Chain A
């Protein structure tokens, strides 16, 4: 028991340091020629009380704009989305007791994509709390889709996992078809829609960061409150019920919270795949299934992974930017296949 606790603390401290390191390095790399030291000095100058020692005055003001208005929100948004998706992945894998569940299984992303597509092709410009029309439509699309999937999938008295997952897939397919149709009729927007669905943090700004930070904080805390229930749920619904857990109520609540989290992420950054699938699995291999530890560790791991992926995405083929979804998939897909292969071999599929 004691060694387990120590390992958990060690992992959390280690991953937190990794995240901070990733953020600091990421701030320093990019198209503008700036040393990492200069970027650190700009950041330091932002800290009240320490600013005067940073000596950032000698640095060009343009660089400050790049660091503070471009890179920093982008990096933080990537970190929040990564944490968000990893925690949701963890949650879905536990409540569906399915290792292959990821944040997009309920059709959230296709709903968001359809919403975003409609937003893009509508040509409306709108600004609500700093969120553009695409994000707002995407968020609404995501919520409506989850609502629909959830309604159909839980028609009976109980949440039937297979039904929910199948309905999610069916609805996703239907919505993707509608997106394709819209794209054919609005060829001039095709590239924009396509790039959006690939996922990107290039449109990051502080408003989006604030929106995501609030959603993520509240959502992750609520899910965290139920970490013991998630543990017990892993041993089976009936076992959990016989231990006094109201399985149906908790599953429904967590499904709603998790879906809101995904909706928030997807609406600001597009549908980024594989993070919500591979990060929880990697972390489980490292520290086990105890959600009290697994949830925070996944959040930190997801955040670091996303910051790294996005840094690669925006720097590897300068000046062209590769969609971050491509980078996560390049890391994620091979691992996913490995997982599938291993499970099939063990006869669990």
Chain B
């Protein structure tokens, strides 16, 4: 079990143009099977962290390893069979159908000039079922609403069939119903398929309800990480967001509510 994790060690990043480092001394571990929420104010380094994990940015300082092997030593194609990514806001003005977009998730497994195999097709179908995309199958991707498009991109990541799913603010621009729906899908993937979920989130209430662990970031460093109740405490939130919060427990169910105390 030791090796089955994504390990970040002393990750740092300071682009030449910046006076302050964007990331400094970031160390944490994402264990396989976990459901992690990365939280923190804007500019705290959340996106930079996942961009390093996905190798969109070249590692300059520190070490990132997956299953005991540094990610920079993985061929990109192999890495794509381990980590998948759901981007933030996508409006693609391209006339691919939903099915074609989801099928692209099979890219790392496909050989050149080969049609989709039986297995590819099954994975695509499964991904569409889990995300409820079956009815959208033949629709052009550019015609979808924000919520539908997000579902399709999650489906694509599922079709990619990786142990880790990394999501950049997957629910930030969805209405509340779609937010809950998507979090439910992620929960199902985590529990039934044993996928590791790593998602940048802003909503305290939904994060508390769905994540198992929280990585709370501030000014390019990890301020606290661990179990939800421990990390999302009044003191920690005050330190990170510079705001007071009230936290309430629901009476008959296990759910916590976070309410910011307004400055008037």
Contacts and interface: CB of A to CB of B under 8 A. Distances in A.
Interface of A: 1, 157, 225, 228, 231-232, 234-236, 238-239, 241-246, 284, 288-290, 348
- Secondary structure class of chain A's binding surface, majority of residues: loop
Interface residues of B, number: 31
Given A235-B96, A244-B76, 4 more contacts: A231-B100, A238-B87, A241-B76, A288-B95
B90 A236 contact: yes
B112 A225 contact: yes
A228 B96 contact: no
B80 to A, nearest CB: 3
A314 to B, nearest CB: 37
B148 to A, nearest CB: 16
Given A244-B79, A246-B76, A289-B96, A238 B104 contact: no
A318 B10 CA distance: 76
Contacts of A231: 96, 100, 104
Contacts of A245: 76-77, 107
A290 B95 CA distance: 9
A289 B95 contact: yes
Interface stretch (B31-39, B52-60, B175-183): B52-60
B167 to A, nearest CB: 11
B30 interface: no
A235 B112 contact: no
Interface in B85-135: 85, 87, 90, 92-96, 99-101, 104-105, 107-108, 110, 112
B7 to A, nearest CB: 20
B68 to A, nearest CB: 21
A246 to B, nearest CB: 5
B157 to A, nearest CB: 8
- Secondary structure class of chain B's binding surface, majority of residues: loop
A168 B95 CA distance: 29
A1 B99 contact: yes
A290 B97 CA distance: 10
Interface in B12-68: 54-56, 58
11 contacts: A228-B107, A231-B96, A236-B87, A239-B85, A242-B56, A243-B80, A244-B78, A244-B80, A244-B107, A288-B96, A348-B93
Give the residue among A238, A243, A288, A290 with the most B Cβ atoms within 10 A: A243
B13 to A, nearest CB: 14
Nearest to A236: B87
B76 A239 contact: no
